[in-house]
Chains A and B, each alone.
Chain A
């Protein structure tokens, strides 16, 4: 069976759009099944790791409502990682700015490039900006979850 999944297209498009933002200092944008900074996958830090997040959610409308028909919400995790070394000021603004720009890139926007389904919006769930356990590991780690409602066509 030919074709491509909407989920894969969405994650590819997230990667493409974040790369196109040309975020200053961020050259490693990597699509993954499961986020890591293994040297096999990531050339170095800083890096943006993009992967599926949790489980997709089936969205159901009521009996007279077509909006919920064939509608799935696909969650995508976006993690930003930079060297921190427990410094409280270095690159504080850089990582916060990257997160803001990514939020503004996707929040409440259609993703028209996805052809396997109609991705008509995006809900952004911000996560921590500087996750504490990672900070103790000498990493600055911030992130967000992009939730894309996608109407699929039943064939």
Chain B
């Protein structure tokens, strides 16, 4: 069975955008420039907390594995900053590796925007 290499598929994606991935670590943060991120649609829901309800935005970003780099691990608590004129910082809540066999395509990150 042939091995399908999906690690470079991101080079052909439409609707990409540049973002900055920040790996937030106790020893010091690392920033990684991502040129071809894919943003998913935003949804907003009111969630129950301590008997009150609070609206929360949620969406996903896909970050190509080759751009994140093999030495970097994306983890909850890391952030993605978009390239808007007033940049929005998104907190990563969970991360899924997108793979075919042992070939990594990238990271699907569920995020919520920081509040102001």
B-binding residues in A (CB < 8 A): 34-38, 45, 49, 51, 53, 77, 79, 81, 83-86, 127-128, 131, 133-134, 136-139, 141, 143
Contact = CB atoms under 8 A, between A and B. Distances in A.
Contacts of A34: 52-53
Interface of B: 46-47, 49-56, 77, 89, 91, 93, 112-116
Nearest to A44: B116
Contacts of B55: 36-38
B116 A139 contact: no
Looking at chain B's contact residues, the main secondary structure is strand
Contacts of B114: 83, 85, 138
B91 A139 contact: no
Contacts of A133: 47, 49
A131 to B, nearest CB: 5
A137 B49 contact: yes
